[in-house]
Amino acid sequence: MAPLRYGIVGTGMMGVEHIQNLVRLEDVTVCALADPDPQSRRRAAALVPDAEVFGDHRALIARGGCDAVVVATPNMTHVDVLSDLLPTDLHVLVEKPLCTTVDDCYTVLEMDERRDALTWVGLEYRYMAPIRRLLEEIDRGVVGRPRMVSIREHRFPFLRKVGDWNRFSRNTGGTLVEKCCHFFDLMCLVMPGRPVRVMASGGQDVNHLDEVYDGEVPDILDNAYVIVDFDDGGRGLLDLCMFAEATQNQEELSVVGELGKVEAFVPDDTVRIGRRGVDSLGAVTVEPVVDERVAYEGFHGGSSYIEHLRFRDAVRGGADADVTVLDGLVSVAIGAAAHRSIDEGRVVELEELLRR
């Protein structure tokens, strides 16, 4: 079988991350690159010197020769790039967040509903080994029906991107869309109910306050608490701090039901499993978790490699996307609702943002 031919649209930090994963994957080849920034193009082309290089994604599409395209452009460009890609028969993996606004996500959803090729949203935290194990334990019924999910991310500030586009909410969708769509996606994956309302508190208290771009100071939040209520009575909590890099674990997840509790820790790559009536305080099962399939760790503990492995196999086998456009839309909607809650000082019903 001929290798699956990939094009990369957007060859900045995340575009290069995708290339680094793909070159380690069997039966694929990166044959085309597109980015308007010359330095980004050169850096990516050094990794795949046989790939054709374009300054515009439309030229890459017009040239043909690809089976699949990875979109890793800045968030605010996703809707326009996808508007050019989705009318084609190319399989598409688009980086998170799907778009910066819920309306743009609906535009993409409507286009996706008219196509047969795969459209997959890059919410790769699902594939981190300890998180995957947590999800498997939940599916096995270890906690019973999940009632509460708590996610903590304590980490470093936002990195610099080309042109520092990620310093302003108008470009990213805001921190709770840009960064936290991952966690809202995990909440929806874990909880049996449907998210219905959001309450949040957050601010920009430490990071980027001494930076100025064309007379503007960045406006991206660096800490927040977000509560998500589900229609079955379940609830989720996000605890985000982006000036907390002096920490043992960047991500900590816990899911609790009437039968027990499961926790996942990254980058310790461990899970803790506690069963009510069997285990006790301070005496639960602690297990290391490793995914032996991972050939490249990258920025996200090998999760992008597993994401690409599954995407490749879905394209080959004609399977559905693990992470759909609708999944991407809902994760953006929860983040947008959280920002509205902070801005307006109130609880926000998700029906204010969702159309169906």
CATH of the domain at 41: 3.40.50.720
Q: Is pLDDT at 82 greater than 80 in this prediction? A: yes
Q: Are residues 215 and 108 in the same domain?
A: no
Q: Which of 94, 95, 106, 77 is nearest to 171 (CA)?
A: 77
Q: Is pLDDT at 87 greater than 90 in this prediction? A: yes
pTM of the full structure: 0.97
pLDDT of residue 233: 98
Q: Which residues on adjacent β-strands are paired with residue 213?
A: 216
Confidence grade of residue 303 (pLDDT, cut at 50, 70, 90): very high
pLDDT of residue 285: 97
Q: Are residues 158 and 292 in the same domain?
A: yes
pLDDT of residue 119: 98
Name, in order, each residue with C-beta under 8 angstroms of 289's C-beta and a sequence gap of 6 or more: 129, 130, 132, 133, 264, 269, 270, 271
Q: Are residues 102 and 150 in the same domain?
A: no
pLDDT tens string 39-48: 999 999 999 9
**Phi, psi (rounded to 5 degrees) for 352:** -70, -25
Measured distance CA(56)–CA(61) in Å, rounded: 9
pLDDT of residue 121: 98
Q: Are residues 144 and 260 in the same domain?
A: yes
Confidence grade of residue 220 (pLDDT, cut at 50, 70, 90): very high
pLDDT of residue 340: 98
pLDDT of residue 183: 98
Q: Are residues 114 and 183 in the same domain?
A: no
User: What domain count does the chain have?
Assistant: 2
Q: What is the mean pLDDT of the chain?
A: 97
Q: Are residues 228 and 256 in the same domain?
A: yes
Q: Are residues 212 and 233 in the same domain?
A: yes
Residue 168 maps to which CATH number? Answer: 3.30.360.10
pLDDT of residue 287: 98
Q: Which residues on adjacent β-strands are paired with residue 153?
A: 240, 251
Q: Is pLDDT at 356 greater than 80 in this prediction? A: no
Q: Is pLDDT at 28 greater than 80 in this prediction? A: yes
pLDDT of residue 336: 98
Q: How far apart are the first and last CA of the chain?
A: 42
Q: Are residues 236 and 274 in the same domain?
A: yes
Are the C-beta atoms of residues 304 and 23 closer than 8 Å to each other? Answer: no
pLDDT tens string 259-300: 999 999 999 999 999 999 999 999 999 999 999 999 999 999
Q: Are residues 148 and 282 in the same domain?
A: yes
Q: Are residues 137 and 55 in the same domain?
A: no
Average pLDDT of the segment spanning 152-180: 96
Q: Are residues 175 and 291 in the same domain?
A: yes
Question: SS3 of 262, please?
Answer: strand
Residue 313 vs residues 98, 103, 345, 353: alpha-carbon distances, Å: 22, 31, 45, 34
Are the C-beta atoms of residues 44 and 72 closer than 8 Å to each other? Answer: no
Q: Is pLDDT at 105 greater than 80 in this prediction? A: yes
Confidence grade of residue 1 (pLDDT, cut at 50, 70, 90): confident
Confidence grade of residue 120 (pLDDT, cut at 50, 70, 90): very high
Measured distance CA(150)–CA(191) in Å, rounded: 11
pLDDT of residue 50: 97
Tell me the residue range of the domain where 42 lies.
4-124+306-322
Q: Are residues 317 and 344 in the same domain?
A: no
Average pLDDT of the segment spanning 304-319: 97
Average pLDDT of the segment spanning 332-341: 98
Measured distance CA(98)–CA(351) in Å, rounded: 19
Average pLDDT of the segment spanning 24-47: 97
Report the amino acid identity of residue 223.
N
DSSP letter at 220 equals -
